[in-house]
Amino acid sequence: MESIIIIVFVMGYLAITLEHNLKLDKLIPALIMMAVCWAIVALGVDSFTTWFDSSKHALVEGFGSLVHDDKIHLVEETLLHHLGKTAEILVFLLGAMTIVEIIDYFDGFSTIKSYVVTKKKSKILWIFSILAFLLSAIIDNLTATIVLISILQKIVKKREERIWFAGLIIIAANAGGAWSPIGDVTTTMLWIGKKVTTLKLIEYLLIPSLLCMAVPTLIASFLPAFKGEIDSEEELEKPQSPHSAKMLYLGLGAIVFVPIFKTITHLPPYVGMMLSLAVVATFAEIYSRTKFSLTDYDNESEANAHHSPVHASLSKIEMPSILFFLGILMAVAALESLGILFNFASTLQESVPMMGTEIHVAGRTGVSDLVVMLLGVGSAVIDNVPLVAASLGMFSEPIDNELWHFIAFSAGTGGSMLIIGSAAGVVAMGMEKIDFFWYFKKISWLALIGFVVGSATFMITRTLF
């Protein structure tokens, strides 16, 4: 039965990876994979001899000798446990996504365009790379990429020039998302899963992530594509809401407040995110009453004036992404519950050379650096969410062990090496119609350099913490 579950998981995984070829949204195989895996677990529970207790991170003693009803009860308890942990992540993401959409409702991100006052390509490259690095740490790498490419389209008119900037934005956004607990889904998973803390994540990964962004950007600034100035055309800008800047700073501040709230109260992050959402939504409702001009009163403004910004923002939430995360996380939970991931981790640690671990001081991880770097390379080919979800069930190192921070860096930045390797890359690919092979030839080598430099920096600086 375990073999059947693994086959179902692999087939679902392939369908997710090949979603563009199959023209099938990845949430569909993810949900099928989740339901089928747990159905097989429930139907064949009497044939399993091992069961993994996630709360204790150990195998349940004497599981094979339990009667059928006790096994079913244990399955139900485990399913509820994993659903609760998954729901924490999903509710957190829903709150963050809604805040971002509220900011966009007031055209808050247009404020960022005012910072770009140069026409020199190399300077624009640095401005957007730095903005991507900082923004992604606050509003996550996917949203930062969407926002910055949207702004870039108003500044750089020629697509053949713009896709070069987009390629470096992907690298910078993924690097920025790695050092923040709210910057990437994978780091959020590790943070909510109590594997890393905010301060230690920043301590371990800020410098490696910064170099992962800065080195490729520096190299790229000397390439022919970033020489000279852009050809810009003056265009009439649509009037902004008078509250654009206020909602931008309020929304970003509310998201940054979440880790602070968790540190003070020790409550799960989604509680703080719901509080932040409530505050932002309150101001949105107040400001929306004065957003529209009464002097230009027409049918359209009348309709908008009575439309709740919160309702409008909620209608734009990426529900397919939420359902995908639900499916993939719960499917991985099925493998974890049967002890498959635990046993695989043991085999992996025994078979892979312990590169880099000889110099570790006592008490540090015994997992090979090569294993974690391979995880990063793997995240460029397949989705990093299930890879990190699997690592949560594979390794038992305590909170803030260097292993978890290295996994956060590898999974977050390794995806930049292929355009399909990260959510930021996929959305940029769709927005700018970037060819897979063009990215592979022009940008992938820069992402690889950044990944290697960042990894090497992490290996050196981790001894300081």
Mean pLDDT of 232-242: 58
pLDDT beyond 60 at 7: yes
pLDDT beyond 90 at 298: no
**pLDDT value at residue 36:** 93
**pLDDT value at residue 234:** 52
Mean pLDDT of 3-32: 83
What SS3 class is residue 241?
coil
Provide the token pair at 84. Answer: 């609760």
pLDDT beyond 50 at 154: yes
The Cα–Cα gap between 309 and 252 comes to 17
Mean pLDDT of 27-55: 85
211 vs 334, which has greater pLDDT? 211
24 vs 438, which has greater pLDDT? 438
Going by pLDDT thresholds of 50, 70 and 90, the confidence category of residue 361 is: very low
> Residue 239's Cα: distance from chain center in Å?
33
Round the CA-based radius of gyration of the chain to a whole number and report it. Answer: 23
> Residue 161's Cα: distance from chain center in Å?
27
pLDDT beyond 90 at 274: yes
pTM here is: 0.72
> pLDDT tens for residues 156-193?
888 888 899 999 999 999 999 999 888 888 888 898 88
CB 144 within 8 A of CB 173: yes
Q: Which of 235-239, 269-273, 453-457 has the lowest mean pLDDT?
A: 235-239
CB 156 within 8 A of CB 149: no
Instruction: Identify the CA nearest to 405 among candidates 89, 187, 133.
Output: 187
